[in-house]
Amino acid sequence: MGKLTLGAGTLMHSTYVAEYAEGAGNLGAPHPDPNMDGWPNPNGGWPDVNTTYLGKNMLKVTSSGRVVVLGQGRRTITTANAYQKMVKPANGGLSAWNNFVREYEDDLSIPLYSSLLVGQWDTLTQQGGDNVKLYGVFKNDSSLLVVGKHTGLGNAMPTSNVPAWGNTTFNGGSAVLARFTATNIIDPDDSPLTGPTGIATARSLVTTHIWPNPATDQCTVRTSMTEIRSVAVIDPVGRTIQQVPMRQGIATLHTRTVAPGSYLLVGATQEGVSISLGKVVVR
């Protein structure tokens, strides 16, 4: 899976999507990002991988360039903020075939969210799983919405916050509607009800990292455009609340005075063009 520029077809970012095989060896050290939940770094070894399917109509790009996929795998990597997690190889137990939903950072460097949606299988026998098929995904401002079906074979998938018209277990029907939430995938620009934010989308040619995100007291912005001299921090109603100097592509934003739960836009102007560098969630 990769990203190409439209003009020259230059490969900007790429990654492989292949989940671990049962009994995989040659695993790397744990990934340093805590949201990776102690899973081995996929680039840190030569692990055995299993067949992984990404079907058509199962890939979406968000307003900020992040990539959302639906897939089917075996020992699927899931993040710490996942709704339903896979058993890690180091913890023993057997995996099960499963469908999963995943959102990648815009440069495809890391999954921000990765969760299974599958029957709760027996990790000793593999029985009870592989009975939920996901067919479509939609990203809005606060969640990932997924549709699919439950075959009714094996155990039921885990449920929570079921509406009055829904069922907590398979009940002779097949439709599945699921909403996955996590703080690090919140993006007001993904709402179908909001219009342009006033910052142009020249960011497609810029690589930017903001960490930590969500932020408490402060966060760091690093961008590939080292010629940018300052960045602006804009609140949800369009007011500029900070103008921060940037040196060699790095700037520090202070968020301690911003109300928890706020979403801030980070942008810059270069040669008269407004550039969106990203968004920060304040906690």
**pLDDT reported for residue 183:** 87
Condensed to tens digits (0 to 9), the pLDDT of residues 154-213 reads 899 999 999 898 998 888 888 999 999 998 898 888 887 654 444 444 444 567 889 898
The angle at the Cα of 170, spanning 165 to 175, to the nearest 5 degrees, equals: 65
**Predicted pLDDT of residue 237:** 66
Average pLDDT, the chain: 87
d(CA 109, CA 58): 19
213-253 pLDDT, tens digit per residue, is 889 999 999 888 888 888 988 876 677 889 999 998 899 99
Q: Judge whether residue 100 has pLDDT over 80.
A: yes
Predicted confidence (pLDDT) at residue 12 exceeds the cutoff of 80: yes
pLDDT of the residue at 44: 81
Q: What residue segments make up the domains of the chain, in order of their start? A: 1-188, 202-281
pLDDT tens sequence across 41-87:
877 888 889 889 997 778 899 988 899 999 999 999 999 999 999 99
- Neighbouring-strand partners of residue 270: 273
**Predicted local confidence at residue 271, as pLDDT:** 65
CB-CB contact of 268 with 246 (8 Å): yes
Paired tokens of 170? 């398979």
CATH 2.60.40.1840 fits 202-281, yes or no: no
pLDDT value for 117: 96
In angstroms, the CA 139 to CA 144 distance is: 5
Do 141 and 190 contact (CB within 8 A), yes or no?
A: yes
Span 104-143, pLDDT tens digits: 998 898 999 999 999 999 999 888 989 999 999 999 988 9
The pLDDT of residue 194 is 55
